[in-house]
Amino acid sequence: MQPKMEFIDLRSDTVTKPTPEMRAAMAAAEVGDDVYGEDPTVNELEAVAALMTGKAAALFVASGTMGNVSAMMAHTQRGAEVICGYQSHVFRNEQGQLAQLCGVQAHPLPEAANGTLPLDLVAGAIQGDDQHHPITSVLALENTQNMCGGLPVGVDYMRAAGTLAHAHGLKLHVDGARLMNSTSPHNTEPAGAASPLERQKVTESASATSCAADTFNATAALNKRAPSTCSLRPCACASVPAARM
């Protein structure tokens, strides 16, 4: 009889499945009404995430895409512009959420070979103060940069990007679907990798857990956004149930 071939599926980290211990922990988790802040597991998860990333607060959302959409909506008003990479998830893989959900436009730039957005290109892409122009509001980065080979982006670059963004009044958003993976090659803690960011999205295994820091500001900003009509494909609509408050 042929021996059974063992293989490791390297197509994506998203093909991993929970171990029996993880399933047992999920089944035994304490639950409660999260709207009333009475879900102890969510509360603990948010507290741990805030602590790990050195942020004031964290917000549990059900998917990485939801974290990106929520952050973009919190940071922008209609007619704004978001600088991001051509290869970024927020630009390529979220059904055009910037236009479809947020009413803003992407200003995509080519990534360098190391997965970063060259800061001279970023500086050149920031719109001047002119009534004809969209208002550049966000610099959106990704760490690790998935479609550039999963490259980890270093803290020094993050700090420089944060300094540039803040000097021009922009918010810095980082899609941290794999932030934890980005820390080990650079020998940093998640809090170091997250330090320059207003909004930090961290997901474990991309589809399992995500959080955003400075939650209080995000919630306030979401509440301020003007409501608008919704004409979306059902899957996009269902993925952001609370975004238009």
Ligand X SMILES: Cc1ncc(COP(=O)(O)O)c(C=O)c1O
The site for ligand X (CB under 6 A) is made up of 14, 63-65, 89, 142, 146, 175, 177, 203, 206-207
CB nearer ligand X, residue 74 or residue 177: 177
Please, what is the minimum distance in Å from the beta carbon of residue 199 to ligand X? 13
Side-chain half-sphere exposure of 217, counting CA atoms within 13 A: 15
Please, what is the minimum distance in Å from the beta carbon of residue 233 to ligand X? 15
Pairing of strands 105-109, 135-142: unpaired
- DSSP-based three-state secondary structure for 23: helix
Please, what is the minimum distance in Å from the beta carbon of residue 221 to ligand X? 21
CA distance 238 to 8: 33
CB nearer ligand X, residue 15 or residue 226: 15
CB nearer ligand X, residue 126 or residue 213: 213
- DSSP-based three-state secondary structure for 85: strand
DSSP alpha helix (H) spans, the chain = 20-28, 40-53, 64-75, 89-92, 97-100, 119-125, 155-167, 179-183, 190-194, 215-224, 234-238
Please, what is the minimum distance in Å from the beta carbon of residue 148 to ligand X? 10
Please, what is the minimum distance in Å from the beta carbon of residue 39 to ligand X? 20
As a whole number of Å, the CA-based R_g of the chain is 19
CB nearer ligand X, residue 172 or residue 206: 206
CB nearer ligand X, residue 58 or residue 206: 206
CA distance 60 to 202: 10
Nearest Cα to 82, choosing from 98, 66, 101? 98
E-assigned strands of 86-152? 105-109, 135-142
Please, what is the minimum distance in Å from the beta carbon of residue 88 to ligand X? 7
Element (H, E) at 40: helix 40-53
Contact (CB, 8 A) for 48 and 205 = no
CB nearer ligand X, residue 126 or residue 141: 141
Q: Which residue is nearest to ligand X (CB)?
A: 64
